[in-house]
Structure 1
Amino acid sequence: MQQARAFPGFWQSIGLLALIASFQMIAAGLFAAFGMRELSAGHLALVNFITISLGIWLGLLFSKQRFSDVFPLRFDAAPIVFAAVVTMAGGIILLSEADNLMRTILPPPDWLVRIFENLTTGEEGMFGSFLALVVVAPLTEEYLFRGLILNGFLKRYTRLQAILLSSFLFGAFHFNPWQFVGAFALGSLFAWLYVKTRSLFLPLLGHALNNAMPLILTKIDVNVQGFSSELGATVEFQPLWFDLLGLILLVSGLWILQIQFQERQEPADSDTHDPFLDGEEER
């Protein structure tokens, strides 16, 4: 008797994401019915937490797996955490420059800039922005994309395919081209970290650090052209030395991570032929 294929596959994931998006539109409609057409950061946090959690719960039911199997959470050794933070710091710098390039080629509409500014500057309340960006977004999105979806993909596709496909869906789920590139790149990094550690801890940490950066920049006196500038300001590119710093941090962090992963017996990679990424399908 042939064993049922793991849930979700690619098209099943698209269906699940469409269902979550419909939940979000219904929630937004309910708020609009009460005269709240522009949601605060706190309300966005509430809507996203409820709708994405509902989608995760439904996906877990269809997967017929235990919560701990789909959403493993174990703390990693200090050197690995340090290297992951260094990698994230470099990635944040380089993706900031990529965002500058994207906004130069395709300027975002004013209404979208206003939404981002309200959410990332904490103007409507720092607690609401912190809750939406640093708590709810990492928890819900990592459990959905690196937990439920990537877990299913790893049982259906090669590791490289699983990482790229799940990251593509992560980028697409942001529903705008200005966030797609950054979300796809970070999603690929988080997915690789999950494959290497079989834990959501580092993806959660990296996601929270990335989302916290705009809030941190509003509270500290740092002025780096193109990095700490306001979203609505004229697009400026970062200094070359700052981009080089980002590249050095990214490469150094990945190098340290790879050394750490090679030095320990990993549950997923003990039989790997490629030290960076095994392309064979998991069974």
Structure 2
Amino acid sequence: MSESLKKTGASPALSDPFARKGFPAWGDWLVLMLILLFSALAGAAVARWCGCAMPETAEGRTLYPETWGRTVFVMYCAQMGLALLLTLLYRRLRRGPHVVARFSVRGWNPLLLLWGVVAMLACGVVLEPLMQLVDFDFLPMPDPGRGGWALMTSVVAAPLFEELLCRGVVLESLRVRSGVLTAWIGSSLFFGVMHLHPAQSLNAFVLGLLFGFLCLQTRSLWPSLLLHAFNNALALLMIWAEFPGANFDGRPMAELTLRELIGNGRLYAAVYAAALLVVAVSGVEMVRRMRRLRAQERKNAAEAAINPAPDTLNSGK
């Protein structure tokens, strides 16, 4: 495990890749959510303690200060840094596996990353009309701020912390406990739930499946990190950019639907059909490869049980 962020060490949980006991059990998920909630409150407290300007409410409107981007950066880093630290400490108390994340560059290639970009964009097209079925006006999206601080939060801090937590700690722990399929789906569900906002959660779950697939296929966090950063950069650009044209009234691109941007019903239908085809083919291929990976994992576990490693034999003396 020379390419792990931390050494894996010798752990009873690691001796059986399909052990049904240990971290994370059902009760641990509640603890993880409480850790995220406590960390969010602590992050806001740290930002106030640092003297960061907070939004104010006037005449039913929320007014954000000019330095809101820096406030978000401080608040987010404090929140997710504490959440990651507390999760690692809790996992250690629960005698979970020691591995945090893998950063190998041997198992992935640019074509795989390019496919990830295409699949991610196609998922966005397919999910857009589904999310419009529910009115989320009562729950406004959080403002990421503007400028370099907002860019640092969305493109650097968020992918790093969230990938370390979801595709690192959670996915690796689930893989050791229950195998790759449970790790793939479970870490994606956790990734969706931790975003809290309903509109973000569905999209985050689907993206989590894509990020987790890349991580498990390549045994590295680099592809999911890069794809996560690209997705956040694109989302931030759409929030900042104002689409030209009288028909759009200078609204940010994030408030416009793809149908509005294209302006032609038939062309939109063709684009949506192509995106749906990409998502369907990609989904089938991901499931097929994950099943193959699970079969290989079970084969390796069976061989390890028949022919244990020398250090395992020595540790039993």
What's the TM-score, normalizing by structure 2? 0.66
Is 1:108 the equivalent of 2:136?
A: yes
- Once the 2 structures are TM-superposed, how far is the Cα of residue 157 of structure 1 from its aligned partner? 1.3
- Once the 2 structures are TM-superposed, how far is the Cα of residue 229 of structure 1 from its aligned partner? 6.4
Distance 1:256 1:279, change over 3 A: closer
Q: 1:169 aligns with which of 171, 174, 190?
A: 190
Aligned to 1:98: 127
Q: 1:69 aligns with which of 80, 86, 99?
A: 99
Aligned pairs for 1:171-250 within 5 A: 171-217=192-238, 218=240, 230-233=253-256, 236=259, 239-247=268-276
Aligned to 2:37: 21
Q: Is this contact kept in 1: 2:97–2:176, CA < 8 A? A: no
Distance 1:27 1:61, change over 3 A: closer
Distance 1:16 1:177, change over 3 A: same
The alignment-based identity, stated in percent, is 22
Distance 1:109 1:72, change over 3 A: same
Q: Relative to structure 2, which stretch is displaced further, 23-32 or 228-237?
A: 228-237
Aligned-residue RMSD, C-alpha? 4.1
Larger-gyration structure (1/2): 2
Distance 1:128 1:89, change over 3 A: farther
What's the TM-score, normalizing by structure 1? 0.73
Cα offsets for 1:132-161 (capped at 9, x unmatched): 111111000000000001111111113212
Q: Relative to structure 2, which stretch is displaced further, 24-33 or 52-61?
A: 24-33
Q: How many pairs align?
A: 259
Counterpart of 2:137 in structure 1: which amino acid?
P
Aligned to 2:164: 143
Q: Which secondary structure does the structure 1 equivalent of 2:140 belong to?
A: helix
Q: Which runs of 5 or more structure 2 residues have no equivalent in the other structure?
A: 1-10, 14-20, 56-63, 263-267, 302-317
Counterpart of 1:36 in structure 2: which amino acid?
M
Is 1:155 the equivalent of 2:176?
A: yes
- Once the 2 structures are TM-superposed, how far is the Cα of residue 174 of structure 1 from its aligned partner? 0.6
Distance 1:28 1:98, change over 3 A: same
Is 1:43 the equivalent of 2:71?
A: yes
Q: Is this contact kept in 2: 1:163–1:188, CA < 8 A? A: yes
Cα offsets for 1:207-263 (capped at 9, x unmatched): 11111112344569899x99x9634457847712322443465578789999xx9xx
